A and B are shown apart, each in its own frame.
Chain A
Amino acid sequence: NAGVTQTPKFRVLKTGQSMTLLCAQDMNHEYMYWYRQDPGMGLRLIHYSVGEGTTAKGEVPDGYNVSRLKKQNFLLGLESAAPSQTSVYFCASRQDRVRSNQPQHFGDGTRLSIL
């Protein structure tokens, strides 16, 4: 059981380039999340989805777009990459629609550098 898989694992971009990060989960989870992790700031929520076809903004959504066309996939797009978007990006999923306190299951991250 793979859990949450993120691709690519590493990427270097030039300022202004665009790219898409892919997150796939095989646990049939309803909720999916994209975070960025920067030193001393923990994890900050970029966008999230509570089901197929739905997305919502998190704490730091500017400069990013997302899509959830299929339940198992959650894509994060950078429209025009900026050096401030250099970070480690984590995808997570969560099972339950009704109960709170459910854990989030994380991928191993995508390390993105913008030059």
Chain B
Amino acid sequence: TQLLEQSPQFLSIQEGENLTVYCNSSSVFSSLQWYRQEPGEGPVLLVTVVTGGEVKKLKRLTFQFGDARKDSSLHITAAQPGDTGLYLCAGEKGATNKLIFGTGTLLAVQP
């Protein structure tokens, strides 16, 4: 059972455009992490959000955790080719020591 659904599944945009990726669930998570994965490599952590309504910024990337801690979004401003990759959200439920990964969003930024 996939508890975390990401949308869109694929996104191809031009350099300089803005975009938003969504991560939705019917379950409540104690925290949510966003990872980026490049071809031939493993996922690398971008950010962790913990508090409902929390907003974190990482240069041109803005991450938000929903008030009810069931969903999250990633907004990229003025996308660059270097942003190309697979973006994965992952939620943790309590102190389970396990992450539940989303279905992934594959982003291609064309120069």
Which interface class (under 10, 10 to 19, 20 to 34, 35 or more) fits A? 20 to 34
Q: Pick from B56-64, B66-74, B77-85, B94-102 the stretch touching chain A.
A: B94-102
Within 8 A of B (CB), among A83-115: 90, 92, 94, 100-101, 103-104, 106-109
The binding surface of chain B is classed by DSSP as loop
Q: Is the CB of A42 within 8 A of B31?
A: no
Q: In the complex, are the beta carbons of B44 and A106 less than 8 A apart?
A: yes
The answer to whether A77 has its CB under 8 Å from any CB of chain B is no
Q: What CA separation (Å) do A52 and B101 show in the bound complex?
A: 25
Instruction: Indicate which residue in B40, B43, B92 contacts A43 across the interface (CB closer than 8 Å).
Output: B43
Whether, in the assembled complex, B42 has its beta carbon less than 8 Å from a beta carbon of chain A, the answer is yes
A100–B48 CA distance with the chains assembled, in angstroms: 11
Residue A41 at the B interface, CB < 8 A? yes
Selected from A35, A42, A48, A104, the residue in CB contact (under 8 A) with B102 is: A42
Binding site for B on A (CB under 8 A): 4, 31, 33, 35, 40-45, 48, 50, 58, 90, 92, 94, 100-101, 103-104, 106-109
